[in-house]
Amino acid sequence: MTTDFTPISALGGGALIGLAAVALMAFHGRIAGMTGIMTGLLPPIAADWGWRAAFLLGAIGAPMLMVFAGGQAVGFDSPVPAPWLIVGGLIVGIGVYFGSGCTSGHGVCGIARLSPRSLAATLTFMAAAVATVFVVRHVLGGL
Amino acid sequence: MLRILAAGAIGLVFGSGIAISGMANPAKVLNFFDIFGTWDPSLAFVMAAALAVTAIGYRFVLKRPRPLLEPKFHVPGNRKLDMPLIAGSAAFGIGWGITGFCPGGAIPALGLGEPSAWIFVGSMLAGIAAARTLRIALEQRAAQNT
């Protein structure tokens, strides 16, 4: 299945992600990493759960508002069967916990402040994802 | 209260960026990784723009003595590469390649009401909780043995 190459919305959306990362550091002094923010909301719940929950609700609310406001369609298509979503979800959860971050925390915030750990993590998960998609699509012939 | 409202507003900006950029769309993410198939390079542009804005913004923000609403910056100081970092990141990449969902893309996707996003996020949270319980148990055992 193909998807359209969309460089303009990619640049615009990426700039907004960067803006949010800068704002969260400027106001709260925090890395805008989804893994770290989320983990503090699981038991044992962090004492500073308030801003974490608010950030998460805002993140969930944004596409909701875009859809309700109409006009702005948010592209979404998940071609993966549910059992693989469960397996993949578990692997992602365990991986980002031990890896101390994901695309937002390591890939954006960490590399932006030249962290060697984040650079190594990002190269590793990008390479692993490319290799996995290659095996799934071109060796196994799909899930 | 101001902290909570500001965090909510920043979350809205983050979620809008994810939704507009296509990061919340697993089909698009999987095609970004499918270099030898139906490649869609869009997400390289997302990363490039996000990184450019963050790198420039951080230069100004981190020069200040403290954040606007909190007493201090919480920036990780660890610069050492270790096994949990690399093995964990490799596992994350495998799961990302299977599903097309990463945490930052999946959480905003919940707002679209798509069942697949809810299945993924439920499973991901279970994975984080299990890994965290395991680490806390291991650390307690190590502490008892010393």
- Taken in order B139, B126, A50, A27, the sign of the CA dihedral is positive
B138–chain A nearest CA distance, Å:
13
Coil, helix or strand at residue B49: helix
Search chain B and give the residue with CA nearest A143.
B98
pLDDT of residue A1: 81
How does the average pLDDT of chain A come out, rounded? Answer: 95
Contact assessment for residue B84 and residue A94, using Cβ atoms and an 8 Å cutoff: no
Three-point CA angle A39, A42, A45, nearest 5° = 100
| Rounded mean pLDDT, B62-79 | 95
Cβ distance A88 to B98 less than 8 Å, yes or no, reads yes
Q: What percent of chain B has pLDDT over 70?
A: 100
Compute the distance between CA of residue B91 and CA of residue B97 in angstroms, rounded to an integer: 10
pLDDT of residue B120: 98
| Rounded mean pLDDT, A10-37 | 98
Ranges of each domain in chain A:
7-139
Neighbours of B66 (CB within 10 A): 10
Q: Is the ipTM of this complex over 0.90?
A: yes
Indicate the angle between helix axes B42-61 and A7-28, nearest 10 degrees. 30
Cβ distance A120 to B85 less than 8 Å, yes or no, reads yes
B116-140 pLDDT, tens digit per residue, is 999 999 999 999 999 999 999 999 9
A137–chain B nearest CA distance, Å:
8
A46-99 pLDDT, tens digit per residue, is 999 999 999 999 999 999 999 988 766 789 999 999 999 999 999 999 999 999
pLDDT of residue A69: 84
A-B contacts at Cβ under 8 angstroms:
497
Rounded to 5 degrees, φ, ψ at B96 are -65, -40
B15-28 pLDDT, tens digit per residue, is 999 999 999 999 99
pLDDT of residue A70: 75
Compute the distance between CA of residue A80 and CA of residue B99 in angstroms, rounded to an integer: 6
Contact assessment for residue A120 and residue B87, using Cβ atoms and an 8 Å cutoff: no
Alpha helices in chain A (DSSP H): 7-28, 34-39, 49-68, 82-98, 111-112, 116-134
Residues near A83 by beta carbon (within 8 Å), at least 6 away in sequence: none
Q: What is the CA radius of gyration of chain A?
A: 17
Contact assessment for residue A130 and residue B100, using Cβ atoms and an 8 Å cutoff: no
B88-120 pLDDT, tens digit per residue, is 999 999 999 999 999 999 999 999 999 999 999
Contact assessment for residue B37 and residue A84, using Cβ atoms and an 8 Å cutoff: no
pLDDT of residue A62: 96
pLDDT of residue B145: 83
A118–chain B nearest CA distance, Å:
9
Search chain B and give the residue with CA nearest A27.
B68
Ranges of each domain in chain B:
2-144
Contact assessment for residue A112 and residue A17, using Cβ atoms and an 8 Å cutoff: no
